[in-house]
Structure 1
Amino acid sequence: MSHNYAPSNETIEEQYNENVMPIWKSLNVPVKRASDCVVEDFDGNEYLDVFSGISVTNVGHGNDAVVEAAKDQLDEFVHGCSYVHPSQPVAELAERIAEVTPGDLQKSFFCNSGTEAVEGGVKLARKHTGNTEVIALEMGFHGRTLGSLALTGNKAYKRGMAPTLNDTVHAPAPYRYRWTNEDLTEEEFAKRAAAEIEHVIGTHTSDDLAAIIVEPVMGEGGIIVPPKGWLARVQEIAHEHGALLIADEVQTGYGRTGTLFASEQFDVVPDILTQAKGIANGLPLGAFTASSEVADAFESGDHLSTFGGNPVTCAAALATIDELQDGILEATAANGEWLADQLTDVEADFDVVGETRGLGLMQGVELVDPSVEGPHGVSPAPDQKLASAVADHLEGQGIIMGVGGYHKNVLRFQPPLTITQDQLDRTLDALRTAITEVTADE
């Protein structure tokens, strides 16, 4: 039904409230148009987007090359079901992914989302190993369908649901800030955190392990960066038990951490690598990629997707990779190092900032109540209320900032990778103002 009215923020919100099922709406900015790092609402307000649609528009909103690639393919054909009729965009993207992914990862399956990529990766691991059990991490996030919810280590996403992937257990995340106050070296902490996975195998499984799935940097968990050596040891543990390592790079992939895939920074070639979000810069596409040896465990009929490998989204993904490799990756690494240094200063200047951490343009600011002891007495209590108030204050200053973490107290810097240092500087100034003014009002 068409409506003859001038859309406004209010009318769009009314339509959502009346006709769209309740959804996560903590970033309540009705979007009329977006360009690069700037979003405009229906009332003419502009916002600097420092969240890029949950880490999706990595090469900028409305990137010309990506839009043109999609339009050109639209003029040819829109759908042929890539698993029934082969097409050039799918063939070229699969070949390109084989070239840019680490090590011997060679064959890809295309789907529509990160959740589908994760569930498909688990199916492949089960088929290849002949085993069924999967280990995931506490506070990890792998999607919201029933299978992926079983992998997700947070009751906030599971409440009222009944995950069906029953052969799943969880191990502690390598979250040092809330794990220990001991003066451990990075190597010592990596060994201790990895040993917890061995403990879980010994106590919570029947040693019928198909896969260990981890995010190289945990996104929804609060931008948790593992210590060097941890990911490699986790893969060794998986192999010792006849299992595979699945690196869930849905959020960390396609340049987010300063390399095309975060696994590269930990010198690990995962057995299966899942992708989505930034892969096509906002068009719906997911994939999981494995070596030929692992991938060939799938036989005809084992897995399929009607819309997976849509030629329009695959054309957009090819253009996205081109854009990333044309200077954006290098800029992301440099801007990420600069931003990390600036956030370290913020941490030093405010006692309500417990820790700042991240890789590339995936940085987190953990807000705390320094007057209250946190879980297990390891660090100050997480302050969800403060994080929400700071994010609201930033929106009032024209900055869109994500909030996440297991305790919902981590501000998330995950902007389009095309963001400039001046725009980051503006965000940092706004962050300092927001923290100062919000804490002054308490």
Structure 2
Amino acid sequence: MMHKLTSSFRRLTVGKDKLGRCRLYSQLTQHQSPLEESESAGGVPTIPAFDYTPPPYVGPTADEIFRKRKEFLSPSMFYLYKKPLNVVHGKMQYLFDENGRRYLDGFGGIATVNCGHCHPDVVQAIINQVTTIQHSTILYLNHCIADFASALAGKLPGDLKVVFFTNSGTEANELALMIARLYTGCQDIISLRNAYHGNAAGTMGATAQSNWKFNIVQNGVHHAINPDPYRGAFGSDGEKYAKDIDDLIQFGTSGHIAGFIFEAIQGVGGIVELAPNYLPPVYNSIKKAGGLVIADEVQSGFARTGTNFWGFQNQGIVPDIVTMAKGIGNGIPLGAVVTTPEIAKVLTRRSYFNTFGGNPVCTAAGHAVLKVIERENLQENAHVVGSYLKERLTALKDKHDIIGDVRGRGLILGVELVTDRKLKTPANTEILEIMETMKDLGVLVGKGGFYGNVFRITPPLCFTKEDADFLVDAMDYSMSKL
């Protein structure tokens, strides 16, 4: 049932007027957007109650920050919404802007904040470590990196137990591709169309969307037909898509390859889950060609799919290499590559070193994240709440023709918008309008897909059913206003 904000939840909070002087607001008044003020209370979805008030914000305004950003930061940086949102505080599944207004975070820092914003256990682990030793070098011993590596290896199947720490998902995928090439002695990599694996030179080659590829040398990667159940030529017939892998190996390579890299659920590509029965035959084809199988778990890992801790486990295979980032640190810059002892030996042929990979503050945070996920049963919550949210979104499809597809699992869900369901014409303009209205209501979601027409819903795993109701009601309301 949707909670309504009543007088019992009104609290005094501090804000600033145009002259920077402090003034008091009631939480009820402060959290009303212009949209909410202009509509009758009965028709507008209301954010669930949350017994927390952030400290007063005394920093620069959004306009001041935006001016500096335009002058001093890269012009390649983009932002969501017509007017960039100045997010100054976070608590669990909620974010607060400079005026103290609360928003439901349905994006989770792009599938990153699994435990919730500023989770006290993760914060405390960071504080404890940063006040002890912030950084030295992995050339010295430190228990943080060893303890976390051991705990992380314990979450993986088979002989996947050797960990290399990196600083990001791009860096993890770069390392994984290099390991595959070194181990096999081959150069050819097979990736999937619509994939996103990073934006460095090597990973950009494995990425297969022109939106994310610059005109630089990108050798040795072959892109297979994407097993997309919604837009793909073979619908949900995974075995038919799998035959394209054999064709690529036979007609595009020497017959021997370095490896195959995949996302169990394509995040940037629009939350596309691989067609059923696709990976097992692909796995066999790759192994016959001498290649390694690389699972990119940057977005689908760390309990987000609900049914399993890793996305690849939903596909019934055990890869040779697993890459991860985002949810591994709940917002701390951290990534990792995990492989077998045999494969890991290839990096001893020369010196491999990473200055910040395995930083004690980052690994202390990562270890705390694992403990929180287990102690708070966040995987089970992702499954229960995610299934409920998907059911509600699917029901919304019957009401609004603009919804072409609802997909994903757990708390990594996608809603694709189209102007014509038969032609699947991308509604890439309408989605912007809906996003703006949802933001005005207090709901933040992401956007992706090659055509920019897919809502990416990847909230913190502490999301509740009340939050799910509010998100769907806000989407329903916003679509009705088109």
Give the TM-score band, short-chain normalised: over 0.9
Give the secondary structure class of the aligned counterpart of 1:16. helix
Contact 2:249 2:256 in 1 (8 A): no
- 1:66 positional shift: 0.5
| Alpha-carbon distance in 2 for matches of 1:158, 1:33 | 33
Question: What residue is the counterpart of 2:192 in the other structure?
Answer: 137
- 1:207 positional shift: 2.5
Question: What residue is the counterpart of 1:54 in the other structure?
Answer: 110
| Alpha-carbon distance in 2 for matches of 1:302, 1:166 | 24
Question: What residue is the counterpart of 1:249 in the other structure?
Answer: 297
Q: What amino acid does structure 1 have at the position aligned with 2:455?
A: L
Task: Tell me the alpha carbon deviations over residues 260-301 of structure 1, each in whole angstroms, 9 at most, x when there is no partner.
Answer: 211122222111000000101000000000011211222164
Question: What residue is the counterpart of 2:37 in the other structure?
Answer: none
Question: What residue is the counterpart of 2:12 in the other structure?
Answer: none
Query: Which moved further from structure 2: 312-321 or 263-272?
Result: 263-272
Task: Tell me the alpha carbon deviations over residues 128-152 of structure 1, each in whole angstroms, 9 at most, x when there is no partner.
Answer: 1111110111110001111111111
Aligned partner (choices 392, 411, 414) of residue 455 of structure 2: 411
Contact 1:120 1:303 in 2 (8 A): no
Question: What residue is the counterpart of 2:176 in the other structure?
Answer: 121
Residues 11-90 of structure 1: matches in 2 within 5 Å?
Answer: 11-22=64-75, 23-26=77-80, 28-82=84-138, 84-90=139-145
- What's the Cα RMSD here? 1.6
Q: What amino acid does structure 2 have at the position aligned with 1:226?
A: L
Q: TM-score, normalised by structure 2?
A: 0.85
Contact 2:194 2:226 in 1 (8 A): yes
| Alpha-carbon distance in 2 for matches of 1:283, 1:315 | 10
Aligned partner (choices 312, 317, 332) of residue 361 of structure 2: 312
Contact 1:81 1:308 in 2 (8 A): no
Question: What residue is the counterpart of 1:193 in the other structure?
Answer: 241
Question: What residue is the counterpart of 2:33 in the other structure?
Answer: none
Aligned partner (choices 225, 231, 240) of residue 178 of structure 1: 231
**2:480 matches 1:436:** yes
**2:282 matches 1:234:** yes
Contact 1:256 1:361 in 2 (8 A): yes
Task: Tell me the alpha carbon deviations over residues 106-162 of structure 1, each in whole angstroms, 9 at most, x when there is no partner.
Answer: 101001000000000011111111111101111100011111111110111114x31
Query: Which moved further from structure 2: 7-16 or 292-301?
Result: 292-301
Q: What amino acid does structure 1 have at the position aligned with 2:65?
A: I
| Alpha-carbon distance in 2 for matches of 1:200, 1:117 | 25
Contact 1:9 1:41 in 2 (8 A): no
List gaps (5 residues or longer) in structure 2. 1-19, 21-57
Q: 1:245 to 1:302 in 2, by over 3 A?
A: farther
**Total equivalences in the alignment:** 421
Residues 204-353 of structure 1: matches in 2 within 5 Å?
Answer: 204-258=252-306, 259-299=308-348, 301-326=350-375, 327-353=377-403
| Alpha-carbon distance in 2 for matches of 1:243, 1:79 | 37
| Alpha-carbon distance in 2 for matches of 1:145, 1:370 | 36
- 1:31 positional shift: 1.5
| Alpha-carbon distance in 1 for matches of 2:468, 2:201 | 38
Q: What amino acid does structure 2 have at the position aligned with 1:412?
A: R
Give the secondary structure class of the aligned counterpart of 1:238. helix
| Alpha-carbon distance in 2 for matches of 1:200, 1:350 | 40
Task: Tell me the alpha carbon deviations over residues 64-113 of structure 1, each in whole angstroms, 9 at most, x when there is no partner.
Answer: 0001011111121111222x223101001111111101222010100100
- 1:302 positional shift: 4.4
| Alpha-carbon distance in 2 for matches of 1:6, 1:154 | 38
| Alpha-carbon distance in 1 for matches of 2:336, 2:115 | 19
Residues 158-177 of structure 1: matches in 2 within 5 Å?
Answer: 158-159=213-214, 161-162=215-216, 164-177=217-230
Q: 1:276 to 1:434 in 2, by over 3 A?
A: same
Question: What residue is the counterpart of 1:377 in the other structure?
Answer: none
List gaps (5 residues or longer) in structure 1. 375-379
Residues 361-440 of structure 1: matches in 2 within 5 Å?
Answer: 361-370=411-420, 374=423, 380-438=424-482
Q: Which has the higher helix share?
A: 1
Task: Tell me the alpha carbon deviations over residues 36-70 of structure 1, each in whole angstroms, 9 at most, x when there is no partner.
Answer: 11111113222111001111111000010001011
- 1:332 positional shift: 0.8
Q: TM-score, normalised by structure 1?
A: 0.92
Contact 1:102 1:264 in 2 (8 A): no
Give the secondary structure class of the aligned counterpart of 1:406. coil
- 1:238 positional shift: 0.9
Contact 1:216 1:263 in 2 (8 A): yes
- 1:421 positional shift: 0.8
| Alpha-carbon distance in 1 for matches of 2:278, 2:313 | 13
Aligned partner (choices 144, 156, 159) of residue 101 of structure 1: 156
| Alpha-carbon distance in 2 for matches of 1:6, 1:318 | 32
% identical equivalent positions: 33
Contact 2:446 2:455 in 1 (8 A): yes
- 1:205 positional shift: 2.1
Give the secondary structure class of the aligned counterpart of 1:298. helix
| Alpha-carbon distance in 1 for matches of 2:222, 2:182 | 19
| Alpha-carbon distance in 2 for matches of 1:393, 1:415 | 19
Q: What amino acid does structure 2 have at the position aligned with 1:427?
A: L
Q: What amino acid does structure 2 have at the position aligned with 1:325?
A: E
| Alpha-carbon distance in 2 for matches of 1:192, 1:302 | 43
